Amino acid sequence: MISVEEALAKVLALAPDSQPEEVPLAEAWDRVLLKPAVSRMTQPPFDASAMDGYAIRNEDIGRTLTVVGEAAAGHPYPGTASPGTAVRIFTGAPVPPGFDRVIMQENVVRNKDGITIADPSGGNNIRPAGDDFHEGTTLAAGRRLRAADIGLLAAMNVPKVTLAKRPRVAILAGGDELVPPGAMPGPGQIISSNDLAIAGLIRQVGGDPVILPIARDTEESIRQALQGAQDADLLVTIGGASVGDHDLIGKVADGLGMQQAFYKVAMRPGKPLMAGMLAQTPMIGLPGNPVSAMVCGIIFMQPLIMRMQGLRHRTGLFHARLATDLPAEGPRQHYLRATIEDGDGLPLIRPFSSQDSARLSLMADADALLVRKPGEAARKAGDIVEFLPLRG
Ligand SMILES: Nc1nc2c(c(=O)[nH]1)N[C@H]1C(S)=C(S)[C@@H](COP(=O)(O)OP(=O)(O)OC[C@H]3O[C@@H](n4cnc5c(N)ncnc54)[C@H](O)[C@@H]3O)O[C@H]1N2
Ligand code: MOO
């Protein structure tokens, strides 16, 4: 059995190069910029007023000035400054050439066409041209575009961007006991939940999940499903990964010529994880227990999907204070489902007393996975431990 770190490195090595795609900016939110975007604008394009008030010449302060015209956003004043004059100006309007200050209107007394400045304190209230960015400024590639990035690109007058294609991820759940949500389970049957949960994890990191029909526990059913899914960018199977007579994924994939990168990882839950290449398609075989499938999805599948878009996954863990004693660990890295509460200085982490890898209700209530190293010694309440957050 290999370690989590080794397994992750082998999974990431399966990632093909990111594929570029030109996309209208309006559809680019939360997707990954693959080529740097270059600004076609200088912002602001002109010296712009930051206040509603009067454009004046600094050296005219103390005089009564004649208001000779108006500049509003989108409506520049056509002239230039001359001594003893002011221009009525509004926020966002170009400051006419020769004026070097805007006095906010609250600090001005107006009398017909004349103004006097009641309070000359404060700054010049002018945003110089190019204060924000210039034509040719680039937004670097490799970032997942947030709302502010989209706004910035719009301001840069970049109507289309080159993004990484969303990896299409085929999800194959298998098992004679499984029926889809909404169906009536027969004797011994349950509802297939893993495929939908895994689809959620795929969406969370920018992938495009395609849920395939549930495969039966026969070699033929699994073979057909695997063969039909090879046009996906990534193939994720769930279940049938262990050693039972009906656990056929490894056997069938092997028969189809899968190049296995590894089978079995020293982790809890998630031991019977498998990964490799099926022809040109990377494949991850997740274990069937619902929590095991999700934990492996978070630790291995999500980083792979991020890598396929040219992104790095988060590597660091967070620190918390343990709320309860914990026994020594065995030889596998343990991911305990836990809640997080506010604590004194550090958050308080409280692992659930049951860590059964079939209990989805606990996974749904968990705020974090408390990560314990293989062979870690017993811990006392109050000790500092590491966790991976599951929310936000
Ligand atoms: N003799 C051994 N038995 C088992 C071992 C072992 O080392 N030796 N490992 C256990 C561990 S750990 C896990 S994890 C499971 C993994 O088994 P499989 O990947 O073969 O998964 P299945 O047997 O198909 O299913 C396990 C469990 O999960 C339920 N399941 C499967 N798919 C779904 C789905 N889409 N939605 C909801 N629930 C699903 C399935 O009904 C089973 O209850 O093996 C242990 N056994
Ligand atoms: O790995 Mo199993 O995933 O321990 O339940």
Report how far apart, in Å, the C-alpha atoms of 172 and of each of 55, 257, 305 are. Answer: 67, 18, 17
How large is the ipTM?
Answer: 0.96
- Taking the CA of residue 287 as reference, the ligand 1 atom at the shortest distance is 19
pLDDT in tens, 162-209: 999 999 999 999 999 999 999 999 999 999 999 999 999 999 999 999
**CA-CA distance, 126 to 50, in Å (whole number)?**
6
Domains and CATH numbers, the chain: 4-17+165-308 (3.40.980.10), 20-43+132-164 (3.90.105.10), 48-127 (2.170.190.11), 318-389 (2.40.340.10)
Q: Which residues line ligand 1 (CB under 6 A)?
A: 173, 175, 177-178, 190, 192-195, 238-244, 247, 269, 271-272, 287-290, 292, 357
Q: Which of 177, 217, 289 to mutate to test the pocket of ligand 1 (most atoms within 8 A of CB)?
A: 289
Judged against a pLDDT cut of 90, whether residue 327 lies above it is answered with yes
Judged against a pLDDT cut of 90, whether residue 243 lies above it is answered with no
pLDDT in tens, 116-141: 999 999 999 999 999 999 999 999 99
**CA-CA distance, 73 to 93, in Å (whole number)?**
4
**CA-CA distance, 39 to 178, in Å (whole number)?**
52
Q: Left (φ > 0), alpha (ψ -120 to 50) or beta: where does 112 sit?
A: left
- Taking the CA of residue 267 as reference, the ligand 2 atom at the shortest distance is 1
Average pLDDT, the chain: 97
Non-local CB neighbours of 392 within 8 Å, separated by 6+ positions = none
The b/e string for 176-215 (b: 16+ C-beta within 10 A; e otherwise) is ebbbeeeeeeeeeeeebbbbebbbebbeebbbebebbebb
Q: Please count the other Cβ atoms lying within 10 Å of the Cβ belonging to residue 314.
A: 11
pLDDT in tens, 208-227: 999 999 999 999 999 999 99
Instruction: Pick the ligand that lies closest to the CA of residue 266.
Output: 2
- Taking the CA of residue 174 as reference, the ligand 1 atom at the shortest distance is 32
